[in-house]
Structure 1
């Protein structure tokens, strides 16, 4: 089966449960930004992040795949999504992001002014900064979706804010 289907040629794309939506919708913007974030983390990972940071990246990428599933499901299909047993990001995942950030902070990572990505000549750190800025854009996209009338659970609205903080810390410590 070819990846080229032609189904999106008229400006729509598929969501879960045979739903179609415009490619310029806020929901698709969220999905695309989360996909970009996942790719940026892949770049940081492939650029030689240390083993501990790579483990954090791996866990975050798992969460991002779950988030893409959640956002690929329209609100009216959320019960179907849950019943199907698909992965979903919840409070415990948000707590993990916060705890991981705090753990790295305790090691001496502190805010000393604006970051200058690349100054350390580390592709892994620069990749983390790219991921951080993409996480901030994902946060804005999620908030726009919520403010546009779609109820996005609070945990999902907070997730990208906390994640971008974690990524800033990891970029300073990678």
Structure 2
């Protein structure tokens, strides 16, 4: 199979089901940003996290393919998996388990610490952007609402995962210092 098809050279792309849309359509922004989030999670994993966190992040990457397929498939289709409440529940359990190992937050923190933690914070912000695109899409077209809940919870998970990556590496979170208090 060739990697290029030339079918997108005029600024259109195909959705699952065959429909052609502009490459800047809301649906394409939504699933494309979910793909960016997946790449950012992969970068964090490549930076090195412990085996337990790596396994959780691998699950997230696999689930993000489901999110992307769900977002790329308008209407009903029995040929692709859809995001369900179960995936969101799994994230919530992981958040609760990981958070129990952390010191409670007493102030805002900056994205930083270890390279892996900083990259997880980046993945979190990309996830929030995917969520914003999905919200915009849902206002224009029918969308599986479970995707919105999943993306919302995923960004929470990535925040906690970044804190865990720092803690397990012995690197403290980077506290935010208000510029007004710094003087």
Confirm or deny a common fold (TM above 0.5): yes
Deviation by residue 1:19-48 (Cα, 9 ceiling, x = unmatched): 211101000000110010000000000100
Q: Is the 8 A contact 1:109 1:172 kept in 2?
A: no
Instruction: Provide the C-alpha distance between the structure 1 equivalents of 2:14 and 2:145, rounded to a whole number of angstroms.
Output: 25
Q: Please give the TM-score of this superposition, normalised by the length of structure 1.
A: 0.89
Q: How does 1:20-31 map to 2 (within 5 A)?
A: 20-31=20-31
Q: Is the 8 A contact 1:142 1:157 kept in 2?
A: yes
Structure 2: state its 5+ residue gaps.
166-183
Q: RMSD between aligned alpha carbons?
A: 1.3
2:158 aligns with: 167
Shift of the alpha carbon at 1:146?
0.9
Deviation by residue 1:50-74 (Cα, 9 ceiling, x = unmatched): 1111111111111100111111111
- Structure 1 stretches of 4+ with a deviation exceeding 4 A read none
Higher Cα radius of gyration:
2
Instruction: Provide the C-alpha distance between the structure 2 equivalents of 1:109 and 1:165, rounded to a whole number of angstroms.
Output: 16
Q: Is the 8 A contact 2:85 2:146 kept in 1?
A: yes
Deviation by residue 1:108-156 (Cα, 9 ceiling, x = unmatched): 24333333223x2x11111101111011111111111112x21223211
Instruction: Provide the C-alpha distance between the structure 2 equivalents of 1:16 and 1:146, rounded to a whole number of angstroms.
Output: 18
Q: From the superposition, tell whether residues 112 and 138 of structure 1 become closer, same or farther in structure 2 (CA, over 3 Å).
A: farther
Instruction: Provide the C-alpha distance between the structure 1 equivalents of 2:22 and 2:151, rounded to a whole number of angstroms.
Output: 24
- Number of residues of Structure 1 aligned to a counterpart in Structure 2: 165
Question: Paired residue for 1:129, among 114, 121, 125?
Answer: 121
Higher-helix-fraction structure: 1
